[in-house]
Amino acid sequence: HVQLVESGGGSVQVGGSLRLSCVASVDTIGRYCMGWFRQIPDKEREWVAASASIGPTFYADSVRGRFTISRDRAKEKDVYLQMNNLKPEDTAKYYCAYGTRAAGERCSKITISYTSWGQGTQVTVS
């Protein structure tokens, strides 16, 4: 059973920062990825970043150098997204996601690879 709850969204000026949090209740074991996606109305959900349970982090080109994904040291499945130098095109609803992965497999950028999702948190940059 997996439950994800996001928070930390809001309205911010261009160039500002926000930190999103995702509290995860996960009772599965094994390798996994925690990902962040975002979506604007009438558009497909877009991958933003991911963190592997054992291994590196991954970023979309559009956010690399501005966003940082990290995981809580104590509750390793809790994940954060620090967003700096925000731009109007970052405006979207942001979703946390959980998915399993095989040994040696990179975290996926596609939504169907993630089996559990949070309810989302809105970020507006203007």
Residue 88: the pLDDT is 98
Length of the chain: 126
Residue in the block written with tokens 């497909």? 44
DSSP 9: -
pLDDT at residue number 102? 86
pLDDT at 75: 74
Give 10-residue mean pLDDT values along the chain (126 residues): 93 98 85 95 97 89 97 82 98 96 89 95 98
Residue 43 in tokens: 């558009």
Written in H, E and C, the secondary structure of 25-73 is EECCCCCEEEEEEEECCCCCCEEEEEEECCCCEEECCCCECCEEEEECC
pLDDT of residue 110: 94
